[in-house]
Structure 1
Amino acid sequence: MKSWSEFEGLYGLGNQGRELAGPNLVEAVFGFFANGGTSCHVVGTSGSDIDAYTAALAGLEKVPEVDIVAAPDLWKNESDAPAIARAIAGHCAQAGNRMALLHAKQGASPEDAAKTPGLFGLDETETQFTTVYYPWLNVPGVGGTARTVPPSGHMAGIWARTDAERGVFKAPANQDVRGALSIEKELTDAEQGPLNEAGVNCLRAFPGRGLLVWGARTLSINSDFKYLNVRRLVNFLTESIRTSTTWTSSEVNDDRLWAALRHSVTSFLTDQWKQGALQGRASDEAFYVICDQSNNTAESVKAGKVVVDFGVAPVRPAEFVHLGVTLAGRV
């Protein structure tokens, strides 16, 4: 669906309809569009247990344009939440082109929120494709009844807004949260520190600045994929190159094909570098592309495979800026 009004019309959202759809889902979809989202897929579940979510995720496998998977009712059945989180993270990691956008449970203390990633029990690959946000948001409520809701829908909209305004390579942080009155728990810098270390992204309230997203990390401890925008950029580049080279199917697998692929991928990555997605004063500092006899061996050619290897130097967020001040006094 492309708008909030389309969602309302599809679900017939009078007061009763809102309750049947589930307040967290309704508020998440509203928050998504309120924060800049433009298109979403809503997949219903037959329940709040792991089997229901597994079936829903199977449906999403057939929707290639999905790049964010959120679960507003993740904690509805607390005992199943870790298994559901693992299923979503595993789905995203296997797809290789989408991210799990999860959240800590309602009312969690900063100490408990920092333990949330450990509860999920993800492997290293799954952590690269998973984010966690905290705390929940206080919103006016779609039907006029104020509620406290998970941040996942609003965050999905902020990701989409940042993509549209700056590009997928820009970290979706230091962004205002629209459609919310306040946050459930106002954090101090001291409380945020351990949350950062655990990979939990915080929402903060600052005087005169309103509600802001104050973090853009995955749950990974791998320095290459610790930052959300780096993981999403690699997802985007890989998927774009894969889909734009389907024309190679049934082409003669020889030097001419390899040269054409090198040119195509190099042109695409050069455009990304010019847009600011990659580091480097020159393009050869920003990326490399290999598609020749060195990675297309006789064995791989006989097997009908053509291999393109590329590496990139993605831009990373200035998460901490150190400022030094020297004061000169009179002698």
Structure 2
Amino acid sequence: MTPPNPPGVFVTEKPSGVRTITGASTSIPAFLGYTRVSPKDHPEATPEPYTNEERTVPQLIRGWREFAVRYSMEGLAKELTEARTAQERNALERCFTLAEAVYGFFANGGQSCYVVGFTDPTRKVAATALAGSEEGRTGLGGLVTEPKVTMVAVPSLWEMTRDVPTVEPLPAVTEQEGKPLIEAVLKHCTGMRNRLALVDPPSGLLPDAVKAFANSQLASPNSDDAAYTALYYPWLTVPGVEARKRTVPPCGHMAGIWARTDTERGVFKAPANEVPRGVLEIPVLLTDEEQGDLNAAGVNCMRTFPDRGLLVWGARTRSSTRDWQYVNVRRLVCFLRDSIQQSSSWAVFEPNDERLWGTLRHAVSTFLMDQWRQGALVGRTPEEAFYVICDGSNNPRETQDKGEVHCDIGVAPVRPAEFVHFSIAQIAGQGAG
């Protein structure tokens, strides 16, 4: 028996029963590249640098300083200044490629990323090694159990195609050598369906060669893989993390710009017309005609404009289909999919009846209404922007008997104004009097 209460006001809290959907993460990339422990690390470094074994599995990094300490950047910089042979210098430079990508990410607005290392920079990496193992958490396989990853970049990809050169200047790589590695990355992203690959062409290519590379070495624009592929050109000249100027692939800087745009505007905003931070110059200055050809091939370009400086001037995937032609549309749908999936697990094993259907309808509709109000969905009214169907029409008795609940969702993503046209006409002035 409940004991009697003295006179007064008593408050009892009860759950509302309302279910909500929380937005999933969109701004966390994974970088894969060469790294190794340096014997010249500072003996009192805090926190301690990762061991070689720890570097081969995904590690969450929350800032450049943490990366620099954990991945032996101070020791590697000392080794590089003291290197005597071309092979030693080239092997150390391979470790700096990953570091420059991570630095570019944080410099451009990124907050956290995962790093997966390959600890022998003198040896090439086979496609099977890059694919790695889900059980051993190595390579791309190690990222399968990291659901927050939404971008995948391999800044060291073209160095991974061969053993470290023993001569200088470095011999050029062939595009065909990188194709198996790129295919491994695209297979991973397409299979996971919640992340895009940021692909870099080989260094030093001219515009016509980049177009040929995109059309011959990457997945067909009609394929599923193309919708998860973003290609950026050209490479970027940066000051260098240890004050030695070098030209690096753009994937790290672009991952940071994607994250910055997500924070400032939202994942629905195309990550273009943005300034890449920490870049000195680009080695190739494109004309409008050259970019027009590259844009049609799904290549996103960096352009320098008078009085405006360096800008990212493209936001396309490699897909030629209308639904997945733009990076922000593909990423928005990934975001919606992950958010709804992650926030609806409560529905498993609930009674499969109208009460459950109504709760799901309400939760999803409220979430999509918020997205529409933020500008992610196009339409003058919510009815034009999205629909949610979860009732007896798509959950007949035979579906219920199987223990299934079907919730059909349709959205109208906003697409970027990639081409803005103005029509200007002269009108006759009015006569005096």
Same fold (TM over 0.5): yes
Q: Which residue of 2 aligns with 1:66?
A: 149
Matched, 1:116 2:189: no
Q: Which residue of 2 aligns with 1:248?
A: 347
Q: Which residue of 2 aligns with 1:175?
A: 274
Residue 99 of structure 1 is aligned with which of 196, 201, 210?
A: 196
Q: Which residue of 1 aligns with 2:104?
A: 31
- 1:155-166 equivalences in 2 (<5 Å): 155-166=254-265
CA distance in 2, matches of 1:33, 1:225: 28
Identity %: 51
Partner of 1:67, secondary structure, is strand
CA distance in 1, matches of 2:358, 2:349: 16
Query: CA offset at residue 249 of structure 1?
Result: 1.1
Contact 1:48 1:73 in 2 (8 A): no
Letter aligned with residue 304 of structure 1: G
Matched, 1:238 2:321: no
Q: Which residue of 1 aligns with 2:62?
A: 2
Give ranges in structure 1 of 5+ residues lacking alignment: none
- 1:174-213 equivalences in 2 (<5 Å): 174-213=273-312
Matched, 1:321 2:420: yes
Matched, 1:48 2:125: yes
- 1:261-300 equivalences in 2 (<5 Å): 261-300=360-399
Letter aligned with residue 131 of structure 2: T
Query: CA offset at residue 17 of structure 1?
Result: 6.9
Contact 2:94 2:156 in 1 (8 A): no
CA distance in 2, matches of 1:189, 1:102: 22
Give ranges in structure 2 of 5+ residues lacking alignment: 1-60, 81-91, 133-138, 162-173
Q: Which residue of 1 aligns with 2:321?
A: 222
Residue 146 of structure 1 is aligned with which of 224, 230, 245?
A: 245
- What TM-score comes out, normalization by structure 1 length? 0.96
Letter aligned with residue 267 of structure 2: V
- What TM-score comes out, normalization by structure 2 length? 0.74
Residue 179 of structure 2 is aligned with which of 66, 72, 82?
A: 82
CA distance in 2, matches of 1:283, 1:253: 27
CA distance in 1, matches of 2:260, 2:147: 20
- Bigger Rg over Cα: 2
Q: Deviations over 1:159-208 (max 9, x none)?
A: 00000000000000000010000112010101001100000000011122
Say how many residue pairs are matched. Answer: 331
Partner of 2:384, secondary structure, is helix
Partner of 1:252, secondary structure, is coil
CA-based RMSD of the aligned residues comes to: 1.6
Contact 1:103 1:151 in 2 (8 A): yes
- The structure with the largest helix share of the pair is 1
